[in-house]
């Protein structure tokens, strides 16, 4: 039985989150789904899944939700048709609010963001600056003091995906990844010390299903301790040009 047991899954009812719940259960963990509407979530999640009610945009609803968790997996995100400000409120704000709710506790964290997160001129960054806010959420996790892994998945269920996983760094790829394979990887990153302190992109394709996750994670270089960004990231989001809210949040984490 792994030393980690209760895993808070943020975004559990999403298309990837459901695979995370299944993979966590298969590995002997107790996934705890953070949801806004319990009755609606029960129609989506596997029978018997533990549910806790909370709203990522309402910090006072999260303290009890995170109270007895050993780890957190973030697979949340704004809806495709979300208003521009939702990327700040949910993709970034949700991470910031959970970290604050944890207080001085530092459980293991796995954060899913996206490929292209450092490509500020990509069309995904139009409007609400979705990529910038995801990148800012990564910075929160790196400075949180928690043992972490940050995963940037490729195009979800796009192209010739399959169970064979590969990872890259530097945010240069554009391939697809299977949600099922991704869900398994996110859980394995929670359990494998070879993944700690690392940020990487992940893709999948046809071939033998990946089983040796330690070997896979060992391929990635670790982030520099205390760095805002990942190894090989383009330094194109200067801290002194960031919104005051972001600078304050990072300063709070550094002080804590």
Token pair 């990327």 in the structure block, residue: 87
Q: Which residue has the tokens 């450092």?
A: 118
Neighbour tally for 218: CB within 10 Å: 13
> pLDDT tens digits for 132-154?
999 999 999 999 999 999 999 99
- Among 19-33, 71-85, 92-106, 119-133, the range scoring the smallest mean pLDDT is 71-85
Dmax (CA) for the chain in angstroms is 48
CA 197 to chain centre: 13
Count of C-beta atoms within a 10 Å radius of residue 143: 20
Mean pLDDT of the chain: 94
pLDDT band for 82, please (50, 70, 90 cuts). Answer: low
Residue with tokens 């992109």: 201
**pLDDT of 47 over the 60 cut:** yes
Share of the chain above pLDDT 70, in %: 98
On the question of pLDDT at 85 being above 60, the answer is: yes
Structure confidence by residue, pLDDT tens digits, 164-216: 999 999 999 999 999 999 999 999 999 999 999 999 999 999 999 999 999 99
Which three-class secondary structure state does DSSP give residue 197? Answer: coil
């Amino acid at each position: 039985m792994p030393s980690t047991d209760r895993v808070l899954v943020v975004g559990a009812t999403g298309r990837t989150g459901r695979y995370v719940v299944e993979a966590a259960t298969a590995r002997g963990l107790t996934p705890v789904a953070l949801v806004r509407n319990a009755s609606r979530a029960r129609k989506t999640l596997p029978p018997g899944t533990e549910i806790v009610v909370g709203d990522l945009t309402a910090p006072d609803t999260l303290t009890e939700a995170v109270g007895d968790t050993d780890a957190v997996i973030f697979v949340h995100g704004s809806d495709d048709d979300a208003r521009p400000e939702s990327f700040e409120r949910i993709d970034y704000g949700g991470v910031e609010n959970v970290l604050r709710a944890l207080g001085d506790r530092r459980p293991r964290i796995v954060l899913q963001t996206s490929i292209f997160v450092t490509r500020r001129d990509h069309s995904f960054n139009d409007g609400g600056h979705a990529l910038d806010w995801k990148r800012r959420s990564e910075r929160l996790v790196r400075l949180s003091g928690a043992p972490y892994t940050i995963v940037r998945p490729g195009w979800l269920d796009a192209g010739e995906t399959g169970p064979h996983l590969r990872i890259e760094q530097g945010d240069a790829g554009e391939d697809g990844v299977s949600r099922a394979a991704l869900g398994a990887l996110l859980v394995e990153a929670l359990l494998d010390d070879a993944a700690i302190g690392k940020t990487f992109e992940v893709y999948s394709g046809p071939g033998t299903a990946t089983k040796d996750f330690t070997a896979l994670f060992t391929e990635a270089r670790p982030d520099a301790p205390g760095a805002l960004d990942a190894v090989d990231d383009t330094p194109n989001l200067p801290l002194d040009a960031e919104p005051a809210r972001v600078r304050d949040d990072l300063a709070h984490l550094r002080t804590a």
